[in-house]
Structure 1
């Protein structure tokens, strides 16, 4: 492993000597928060950080990466930026407190969430599709992470490997391929897989160089648009009351971001293709406070209804590639709706060498060196299993709150981009712990480190990690009702 020294600004300098240890002068929680506020465009990041307190710190779990510190900062910044919107509309000033243990629970929400007492993973249509996701060793000795979570991804893997789709069958088939050749073959067939690379390999790769040159959250004014003042609200109203969000996201990062916006008062209309639904337990987990409508942009009637709804939308969030072919690129949408804010989620960057590749949290860890640095006798995901999805969700939602304030005073049309690989890169820039200092810490399991909350939903009682922060002078709202896909019309209330 390459040695790095971390300075107090949160950037790294690389030491290419043969040393395999890393000396850390880690940025404090306040410095991490200030860095995020600066990235979002805060006027006084250091002062803003004074309103965010993180209780607890890494290392909490056996990971060389600063998982709790990174997640705590993202949660705190979301809470503070959302509170700032409320203050602009008449709420009293709020300070934010985050518990590091609760931040770890957020990263593990898929493990802590149950519906009617059943783990969400056990409620998938075919749990084995998720169970097959793993690192497999190829003929050349390299490792590759293969994903079969959804039927179309399973079929792509099968079309290349021609094997029984269980772990034994996949392992045997992968062993007949060189890793990079297999990665390319699966991605060419519309599937997703990624070779495990070291950090140095990633930074030398064209896709890695593209990601490394960009901030963890990209905010860009992409056109003119009117100022849209945020109307005054009452003390009982939530900060984002009246904000309308069209939500064309799936899986975790995008849906959790829009769920956070809904939790704090936004009117979120989630759209999904009827032939490509997310599993019901995922909708239960990420759908709090949203209404769910069907929308297939390939269909002229659905596309017309989408454009009608767009005329009254403040935010359009999406996590799909290729929307331009259906007239739904950011450039086309802000032309139709000046003043629109778009929130885009990408795996590898919107315009980089891998922009047309799909990707998931685990693949970003594999590509960027994250999994290589977590390895023991083989590459490993962090002990929370996921890291990028939930960090990306809080960062994207925080950026939306920030841009709503900017649009209220500056006007303009805006684009926000968050990249899963970029989140990995950002966390890695916070520095590494020595493995010997963290390896004996207990691995997180089914038991949460902080509190869970239970609410009644249309799917049954849902138990999940509680909201991971508190305000100094007002209660934090709870997620709203969960409703089935297609249960609402594609129109605003």
Structure 2
């Protein structure tokens, strides 16, 4: 049975206080918690520490961000109680989330320093460009997307010009074309470009989360009543995700004790800075699912996995026999969490996408218009990615808690467009407090194979929970394809 948990109930009143207390639970947190199937009686366990006007925007980004982290923290606390032999109500530890930690973590890729160097988050050919009739946003951070963008527009790239010089050529070319034409031409060539859209009136119909219980009982459950250092200790997670929401979910599960093994195809290299930010606590291996030997190794990993995270385009892994239905038929106690950009139905369901592009295609960029000239704006962080990542982790943790009783797996579906819809139509704004925010309070440093890292601390917080990852990021693709 597929249960779509939609986000169309927008009747909750704006709270009088900036930070909710147990007597008046935060409406956004209550909604996010309900979306992952949480009991409403537990929402009062969540309170927040204010940091003032963090994540400032036209849309209520601060409220959305803290709600996603609050729901994730509560799910971690609930699983901790379940594994300690407790359950609902007072047995679940109190949750207190600091808005300053949330804001710092939502900027984790921007706050990261590697031996003092700030990473480049967007390449010169990624960004907003004026067209003859509107605006378009491109994404060309990865070499293959860059090459497809230039080829689609007929722009030669013989290596004689660097990307800053090519940016001028790209701008001149795009100024002669219409935005929709650019979008479709680049998409047909396998590249990434999205024309500026106005907010759609029916966008609120996109579900925040969709949940389907497995139809059969499995045999796996986590040890209960035995001492565990973290709620997800002993949980095995296959992380088949790339930039940025899926890796944030995996990073969070690793914080909470899970053995998270990221699996990438050797022919699809990852950006080192991106992986450095999101690889904390994980291990990373390379397997080609199209090669018989590697596929056999993957199936061995899958046989004892608890969770599969997938962020490839809908249907992309089906040819490998890894559709959620097939996975749950073979392993009915798996928690399968899928993430896509544009939602699971409609003409854009199969398209590639990133947070920045979804902001443009859903109308957020039009709402957050940056200046009087009409240049589109952007959220103060990759908030769709980060927010969805914490909600994915929350759904996985809730699925593990439920599996303790039912022994059944669960299929979860999320999309960046669903989070965008909720942000635009379902989260109530509220005035900030006058607290002063200092990001340095929520940063720390560690040594890694990439060098000294100054990085954001995790924002997930509950009484007795971990404050940092036990291990730093390792080198991408260098771990053995085996569980710890």
The bucket for the TM-score relative to the shorter chain is: 0.7 to 0.9
CA–CA separation in structure 2 for the residues paired with 1:93 and 1:117: 40
CA–CA separation in structure 1 for the residues paired with 2:363 and 2:230: 40
1:376-410 Cα offsets, whole Å, 9 max, x none, are 33344435241111001100000000011112212
1:104-158 Cα offsets, whole Å, 9 max, x none, are 222211110111111122xxxxx7x623211111112x11111111111111111
Q: Map residues 102-181 of structure 1 onto 2, 5 A cutoff.
A: 102-121=101-120, 130-140=123-133, 142-163=134-155, 165=163, 166-181=166-181
Q: Which moved more, 1:406-415 or 1:106-115?
A: 406-415
CA–CA separation in structure 2 for the residues paired with 1:34 and 1:432: 12
Q: Secondary structure at the match of 2:78?
A: helix
Q: Does the C-alpha gap of structure 1 residues 399 and 192 become closer, same or farther in structure 2, counting only changes over 3 Å?
A: same
* Aligned mate of 1:26, from 7, 11, 14: 14
* Aligned mate of 2:406, from 387, 407, 410: 410
Report whether the alignment pairs 1:81 with 2:69.
no
* Aligned mate of 1:90, from 78, 84, 97: 84
Q: Which moved more, 1:365-374 or 1:230-239?
A: 230-239
Q: Map residues 238-317 of structure 1 onto 2, 5 A cutoff.
A: 238-317=230-309
In the other structure, the counterpart of 1:18 is: none
Q: Report if the CA contact (8 A) 2:77-2:93 is conserved.
A: yes
Report whether the alignment pairs 1:334 with 2:325.
no
Q: Does the C-alpha gap of structure 1 residues 216 and 389 become closer, same or farther in structure 2, counting only changes over 3 Å?
A: same
Report whether the alignment pairs 1:391 with 2:414.
no
Q: Secondary structure at the match of 2:439?
A: coil
Shift of 1:229: 2.9
CA–CA separation in structure 2 for the residues paired with 1:274 and 1:257: 22
TM-score for both structures, normalised by structure 1: 0.85
Q: Report if the CA contact (8 A) 1:10-1:430 is conserved.
A: yes
- Structure 1 unaligned segments of length 5 or more: list them: 1-8, 14-23, 122-126
Q: Does the C-alpha gap of structure 1 residues 101 and 382 become closer, same or farther in structure 2, counting only changes over 3 Å?
A: farther
Q: Secondary structure at the match of 1:485?
A: coil
Aligned Cα RMSD in Å?
2.7
- Structure 2 unaligned segments of length 5 or more: list them: 1-6, 21-25, 86-90, 158-162
CA–CA separation in structure 1 for the residues paired with 2:32 and 2:352: 26
In the other structure, the counterpart of 2:160 is: none
CA–CA separation in structure 2 for the residues paired with 1:430 and 1:102: 23
Q: Which moved more, 1:367-376 or 1:447-456?
A: 447-456
TM-score for both structures, normalised by structure 2: 0.87
CA–CA separation in structure 2 for the residues paired with 1:63 and 1:10: 22
1:350-394 Cα offsets, whole Å, 9 max, x none, are 343212210000111001111100003334443524111100110
Q: Secondary structure at the match of 1:339?
A: coil
CA–CA separation in structure 1 for the residues paired with 2:302 and 2:256: 21
Shift of 1:179: 0.8
- The count of aligned residue pairs is 452
Q: Report if the CA contact (8 A) 2:279-2:473 is conserved.
A: yes
Q: Report if the CA contact (8 A) 1:160-1:186 is conserved.
A: yes
* Aligned mate of 1:481, from 454, 472, 476: 472
Shift of 1:285: 1.3
CA–CA separation in structure 2 for the residues paired with 1:307 and 1:229: 20
In the other structure, the counterpart of 1:5 is: none
Q: Report if the CA contact (8 A) 2:281-2:469 is conserved.
A: no
